[in-house]
Amino acid sequence: MSDSAKFKVYEYILYWIVTIIILILAIPIIIIKFIRFLVKATGAPLKSAKYFIGFILVVIIAVTILIAYKVYVPYNIGDNTISITVDKKDSFASVMSQLIEKEILHDVRLFRQLAIITGLDKTVSPGRYDFSGMISLSSIAEKFRKRDISTFMVTIPEGLTIWETAAVIGNNANIDFDSAAFYNRACDTNYTIEQYNLERLEGFIFPETYRFWYQIELDEAIEILVDMYHHQTDDINFDSAPNNLSEKEIVILASIIEAEAQDSSELGKISSVYNNRLTIRMRLQADPTVIYAKGGMTRPLWTRDLEYDSPYNTYKNYGLPPGPINSPGLAAIKAALNPETTDYLYFVADGTGRHYFSKTLLEHNRARNRIKKSNGK
């Protein structure tokens, strides 16, 4: 879908061909034929019918050329973009009213007839249609027929929680629904189970750059976001997951990995730590799960936060939390499925965006102390 209608080269060629035919051939032929008809009709009444039929045929040809000229030849409506918005309930008459009001049509009756002939008057797809520069009645009808609606881009980064995603969506000035509506819908269990067989959509709103159209409805936007998850993961074999994890559990684990990894080169190692812990039934003790359980934080975790009572708190509970804590990217999902082969059970941030990995608690504590000293703490 394009944001503006650009006239094609062949349409300019057609314009000049039609113009030449009309100016050089059609008009003189009509005049000559009419004169011949008058002369013949006066001098030879019996032959007048033949010449009259010839004259009518020429007129029909000329009118056809004139109509083609008006339908296909471009005219300029200016460089500024003129937009009309079509709602789902709008009739063709209301669309025509907008086209007339904004002076987009240069022949209203002819365009109405063109719409009837092509069936355009039966339905016009909703959306915002932009017009500028050189257009023709044919290109206007074609834009509606192809649903060449104007669009805008929305980017959902990796690792956003459902409420952060709702803020990105709701804060976009081109979207009609707000963040609260998006969040409530995405967390509406009845809706998500019925539509997607998921208790919540956390983790399944795939991080990607999307092309949305103006006046997109809430459920349409959600469907696009969730469909992208399925599109991106169609080729992944979740049956080969380590620790016999299900697809949902892989997404849960991937969301934790996504939250921990600042450097994508560490995704596989971080995955190995959590998979190793799951194998030996050791608590994951993942800080991001506590942060998520407490609804997000703008401060570092305190020791007492680790005692927060929540099924998402992996310091208190064994295994994975009940659901994803964000929307992981494809790389994190693949890392959860294919961890590096290591003996690591611990890691600690080194202050540079990377981590130091350890096999034992003793080694881990030494690494923590060393990092604290190097950071002057």
Exposed, middle or buried: residue 224 (CB in 10 Å: 0-12, 13-18, 19+)? middle
- Each residue's pLDDT, cut to its tens digit, for the chain (377 residues) gives 444 444 455 555 665 566 566 555 565 666 666 666 555 555 554 455 555 566 667 667 777 778 888 888 888 988 899 998 888 888 888 899 999 999 998 888 888 888 888 888 888 888 899 999 999 898 898 898 888 888 999 999 999 999 999 999 988 988 989 999 999 999 999 999 999 999 999 999 999 999 999 889 999 999 999 999 999 999 999 998 999 999 999 999 999 999 999 999 999 999 999 999 999 999 999 999 999 999 887 788 898 999 999 999 999 999 999 999 999 999 999 999 999 999 999 999 988 889 999 999 999 999 999 988 887 65
Tell me the one-letter amino acid at 205. Answer: I
CA 201 from centroid of its chain's CA atoms: 18
Measured CA to CA, the distance from residue 138 to residue 311 in angstroms comes to: 61
356: phi then psi, degrees, rounded to nearest 5: -105, 125
CA 355 from centroid of its chain's CA atoms: 35
Measured CA to CA, the distance from residue 76 to residue 82 in angstroms comes to: 12
The dihedral through the CA atoms of 260, 276, 320, 228 has a sign that is positive
